[in-house]
Structure 1
Amino acid sequence: MDGKGSVCSGDVGSGGMGSASMLASVFARLARGEVEPGPLVDVAPATEQGAGTGVETGEKAVDVGEVGGARSAPSTRKTRSVRRQHWSVPMHPPGVVRVVPAALCPRPAAADSPQAADASQAADASQAADASQAADAPQVADTPQAVVAPQVPQVPQTDEGEVDSPRSSRPVKITLHELPPEALPSALLDMSKARNQKFDALLSAPIIDLEALRALAWSGVPAVLRPQVWALLLGYAPSRADRRVGVLARKRREYVDAANTLLEAPFGSVEDAIMTQIRKDLPRTEQSLAIFRAERIQSALERILFTWAVRNPASGYVQGMNDLAATLFVTFLVPQLAIAVNDPHHQTALLLQLEDLSELNEAQLALVEADSYWCFSKMLDSIHDNFIVNLPGIYRNLDKLERLLGAMNPRLASHLAESGISMMLFAFRWMTCFLVREFPLPLAVRLWDTYVAESAFNDFHVYVCGALLLHFVDDLLEASAEELIMFLQDLPTATWTETDIEELLSKAYVAHSLYASKVGP
C-alpha cells in the first residue's frame, strides 16, 4: 500500500486504494477524538433524533440506504481480493435480491422503527427492458407473478471451503486526518447572500424557523446551501445554531465508530452476500457521471450501504439502494468542491467529472460520506413503510396512483387498463427511486428539494407521478401495449430543463389540491 499500511486484513490490489487508505487514516483519528471536525457548510445533526436511525443513547450505529431499480451495465472496476473470500449472488429477473444479515445481527427492539425491504420486481423489469425492450416487453407484463421473496442466497463453497467474490469481502476502513475548511470561502458566501437573501436570513438565525425554511426550499435550494437545508429539514441538523457544530461532531464520530467496528469484525457468509450484491449494483449507479466510477466514491458508497444493511437486519440491503445514497452523496459533494477550487460555478449543474475529485482531500470526502449517511438514514425513517417486508408503502402508493389517474384522466386510465399495463410494470421504480432514474441527476436533485420540503413527501410524490403521466398523455393514448411499456420504462426526459421540473411540480401541487380528498390516503 505504498508504505501507508494495510487498510484491512489480506492483500489489496491497486485500483486506487492508496487514497482509500488515506481516508482510513483520517477517520481513525476522529474516532479516537484526536481531531475536532469542522462543520460541513454548517450542517449538524441532532442526537435526540437518533431513534429509528440505528443510533440511540449509548449505542453507536449507522444507517443509510437506497432503493430502486438499476439498469444493467458492465462493471469496469478492477478485481481485488481481501481475505480471499469470494462469491456471487444470482440475480433474479424480474425480481430484486434482498440480503438480510439476521444471522449475525439481532432484530432491533420494538422501539426502533423497522426498515425492511424486499425490493420489487418492477425495478429489475426495467433492467430486462434495457437489455432488450421489444423482446422483454411481453415478459414484463407477467411481473406481478414473479415477485422474489425475501431470501438470503446460499453461498457456493470452493474445494478449500472459501467463497467466491468479485472483490473484497469487506470495504476499506475510513479515517479523517485533515480538517476541512470551517465554512465556505467568504467570496462564495457573499455571492450566496447577494442572490439568496431570504435563505441567508433564515439560516443565520440563532434558531431556524423550519416551517419558513420549508416554504422557501419548496421552490428550489442553491446547490452550495442544499446540504445545510436538507440536513435541517430531514431532522439531522438541530435548528439551534449554538448546538449545531457540537452535535455534528458527535454524530460523525458515531458513524465512524460503528462503521469501523463492523469492518474489523469477522465476516460471515451473510456479510459477504451483502457486500457482493452492493458491488454488483454500484457500477450501475448514475452512469452519466464519471465520478461514480471512481474508486474513492464507490468505496464510500460501499461503506454507507454495507454499514446500514448490517445495522438494520430487519431490512438488510435492498438492490438499488445505491441510487438514493448516490443522490445524497453528490448533493453533499458539490459544496466541498466549491470550497476546494474556490469557484462557485462548480455548484451550478452537478456536472462533476473525474478530474474534479483531484481537488478534494480525503477529509472532505470523509465528511461528505458521514453526512450523506445520516441524511439518508433520516430519509428512510420517514418512508420506512416503503421498504419493510411486503412493501406496504410501495403498494399503497401504486394503488393511490391508479386512483389518481382515474380521477385526473379517465381516458388514459382506461387505455392503460385495456392494454394490460398495470402501475406495477413501470411505476414501481418511480416509487422506490423517487424518479432519480427518470431524470438527469441535476433535475432529480431539484425535484428532491421540493420532496424534502414536503413534510409528507412520500404522499406528494404520487401526485408528481400523476402529473408526469399526464405530461405524456398524447403519446400514451396513441401507443400500443408494447409501445406503452417501452415508453414508460424509458421516458424521453433527457432534454428536460429545470423549467420543466418547475412546471411538473406546479401541476402536481394543483392535482393534490383538487384530488386529494377523492383519492384518499
Structure 2
Amino acid sequence: MSSLHKSRIADFQDVLKEPTIALEKLQELSFSGIPCEGGLRCLCWKILLNYLPLERASWTSILAKQRELYSQFLREMIIQPGIAKANMGVSREDVTFEDHPLNPNPDSRWNTYFKDNEVLLQIDKDVRLCPDISFFQRATEYPCLLILDPQNEFETLRKRVEQTTLKSQTVARNRSGVTNMSSPHKNAAPSTVNEYQVLPNGCEAHWEVVERILFIYAKLNPGIAYVQGMNEIVGPLYYTFATDPNSEWKEHAEADTFFCFTNLMAEIRDNFIKSLDDSQCGITYKMEKVYSTLKDKDMELYLKLQEQNIKPQFFAFRWLTLLLSQEFLLPDVIRIWDSLFADNSRFDFLLLVCCAMLILIREHLLEGDFTVNMRLLQDYPITDVCQILQKAKELQDSQ
C-alpha cells in the first residue's frame, strides 16, 4: 500500500471519527474515490445516501430501529394469503370461506397475492446480475432465517416463482425503451445464466436477497412498483454492503441495502416514471441537457451527432437511468458511484460524466458513420473510468 493511499485512509478516518461528521469534507474526500479498506466505502455510502445521520452517537439506535423495521416488512409482506388472519385468531376454515383464490374482490388477499406474483415474475427475470462475476450466484453467509424457517408461515419467493401457475408476462409498468437496457458486453451467455441454480434448502444465493429487496420495495411503493432497470441500481449497492469486511455490518447487508436503495430511488425515481419524461425533472430533459452541455463544450462533435441524427435517447437514456451501471464492470461502476453520491448537486455530475464519455471518443465519432457510432455508444470502448471522471471534473471546473 502506497504512502499516499495510507494518507487517504487516514483522512477518511479522521473525518469519520468526529462526533458530528463534516459532510462537505466527507463529500470532498469521497468525490476522488473511497478506499475499500476497513469498510470505509460502506460507511461513507450510508452517510452520503442519508441512511446514517451526521451525528455518530445516534448510529447504533437508528441502525437497530431500521433493521427491525425491515424484519417487520418481511413478516407482513412475504406471507401466504389467509395465514396472517389465521394466526390472529380466525380459523383457517373461516379464512377460506371469506377469502379464496377465486375471490374477485379487489381487496381480496388472494387477488393481491396473484398481482404481486406478476411483479415477482418480472423481478425474477431481471436479477441475474453481473454475469462477469460469480458473487451473485454464491450463497450468502447470512440467509434470511425468518423466511427459511419451515416452522414459520412465510413463503420463500423462490417457491412462489416455482409454484405460480401464472403465465410469465411483462408487467404493465415496463417503460418503452427500458426493456432494451442491456449492453452487449453485459449480456450473460446461456451457460452463464444456467449457473443461477437454486441452492439447497436452508441456503440463499445473493441474487435471491436482491430479489427480495426489490419485491419489498415494489410492495411499499405501489405508485412506481418495480420497473426494469431498478435491478441494476440495487445490485452494486448490495454487493458493496454484502462484502463489507466488518462482519457485524455485513450481516445486515439486506436491510441496509433496502433503505439506501429506497433513499437513492427517492432521488432518481423520476427517471423511471414515464409520465414525467418531458417534465424538467424527467429523463428527456436530462438527456437534452447532456447534448446542450456537449454543444457548449464541443460544437464540432455536437453537430456531427446531429447530422447523423444520433439522438441522446439511443444511448444516454440507459447511461442516465442506470447511473452507468451497465456500461462498465462492477468495480468501475462502484468507483463512479463514489463521485456521484458525493456530488453536492445530486447527480448533476452524472450529466458531465456522460458528456466527458462523448468527448473522450470524439475522434472515433467524427470519423465513423451512423452504424459505427451507434456501436461505439452502445458498447462504450474506454475502460479507464478515472480518465472519464477526470475529464468530467475538468468540464465542471470550466463552467
TM superposition score normalised by structure 2: 0.70
Matched residues in 2 for 1:365 and 1:246: separation? Answer: 17
Deviations 1:380-426 (A, max 9, x none): 12223222342432111101011111111122112212212100011
- 1:279 aligns to what? 124
Pick the structure with more helix per residue.
Answer: 2
From 254, 258, 283, the counterpart of 1:373:
258
Distance in 1 separating the partners of 2:249 and 2:386: 32
With over 3 angstroms needed to count, the CA separation of the structure-2 counterparts of 1:194 and 1:469, relative to structure 1, is closer
Superposition pairs of residues 435-474 of structure 1, within 5 angstroms: 435-474=324-363
- Tell me how many residue pairs correspond in the alignment: 296
Alpha-carbon displacement from aligned partner over 1:443-502 (angstroms, at most 9, x marks no partner): 110111111111223211001100011111111111111111111101123xx3xxx323
Q: Which has the higher contact order (CA 8 A, sep 6+)?
A: 1
**Do the aligned partners of 2:243 and 2:250 also contact (CA within 8 Å) in 1?**
no
Judged with a 3 Å threshold, the aligned counterparts in structure 2 of structure 1 residues 194 and 410 are, in CA distance, closer, same or farther, namely: closer
Cα distance in 2 between the residues matched to 1:364 and 1:460: 30
- For structure 2, the residue ranges without an aligned partner over 5 or more in a row are 82-111, 139-203
Q: Which amino acid aligns with 2:213?
A: I
Aligned to 1:508: 392
Selected match of 2:237 from 308, 328, 332: 328
Out of 16, 19, 27, the residue aligned to residue 206 of structure 1 is 19
Matches within 5 A, 1:47-62: none
Change (3 A) 1:204 1:193: farther
Give the Cα separation in 2 of the matches to 1:232 and 1:193. 22
SS for the counterpart of 1:318 is coil
Deviations 1:159-207 (A, max 9, x none): xxxxxxxxxxxxxxxxxxxxxxxxxxxxxxxxx9776111111111111
- State the SS of the aligned residue for 2:54: coil
Q: Say if 2:203 is the partner of 1:318.
A: no
- Aligned residue in 2 for 1:240: 55
**In terms of mean alpha carbon deviation, does 264-273 or 436-445 score higher?**
264-273
Distance 1:235 1:218, change over 3 A: same
Would you say the 8 A contact 2:213–2:258 is kept in 1?
yes
Shift of 1:366: 4.7
Unaligned runs of 5+ residues in structure 1 are 1-191, 341-362, 516-521
Provide the rounded CA distance (Å) in 2 between the counterparts of 1:514 and 1:365: 41
Deviation for aligned residue 1:364 = 6.4
Report if the CA contact (8 A) 1:202-1:208 is conserved: yes
Contact preservation (8 Å) 1:443, 1:501: yes
User: CA-to-partner distance for each residue in 1:6-59, whole Å, 9 max, x for gaps?
Assistant: xxxxxxxxxxxxxxxxxxxxxxxxxxxxxxxxxxxxxxxxxxxxxxxxxxxxxx
Counterpart-to-counterpart distance in 2, 1:462 and 1:444? 15
Counterpart Cα distance in 2 of 1:503 and 1:194: 22
Percent of aligned pairs with the same residue? 34
- In the alignment, what sits opposite 1:114? none
Give CA-to-partner distance per residue, 1:322-351, whole Å, 9 cap, x none.
11101001111222xx356xxxxxxxxxxx
Residue 260 of structure 1 aligns with an amino acid whose one-letter code is: R
Q: 1:390 aligns with which of 275, 280, 302?
A: 275
Task: Summarize the alignment of residues 37-186 of structure 1 with structure 2, pairs less than 5 Å apart.
Answer: none
CA distance in structure 1 between the partners assigned to 2:355 and 2:257 by the alignment: 29
The answer to which of 306-315 and 406-415 deviates more is 406-415
Q: Which residue of 1 aligns with 2:212?
A: 303
- Structure 2 distance, partners of 1:400, 1:320, is 21
Question: Residue 426 of structure 1 contacts residue 489 of structure 1 at CA under 8 Å; is this kept in 2?
Answer: yes
Deviation at 1:238, TM superposition (A): 1.6
The answer for the alignment partner of 1:253 in structure 2 is: 68
Deviation at 1:222, TM superposition (A): 1.0
Task: Tell me which amino acid in the other structure corresponds to 1:199.
Answer: F
User: Kindly tell me: are residues 456 and 387 of structure 1, through their superposed partners in 2, closer, same or farther at Cα, counting changes over 3 Å?
Assistant: farther
Matched-pair contact (CA < 8 Å) for 2:341–2:347? no
Q: Distance in 2 between matches of 1:470 and 1:441?
A: 23
Query: What does residue 421 of structure 1 align with?
Result: 310
Task: Specify whether residues 332 and 198 from structure 1 end up closer, same or farther in structure 2 by C-alpha distance, changes over 3 A only.
Answer: same
Contact 1:230 1:452 (C-alpha < 8 Å) held by counterparts: yes
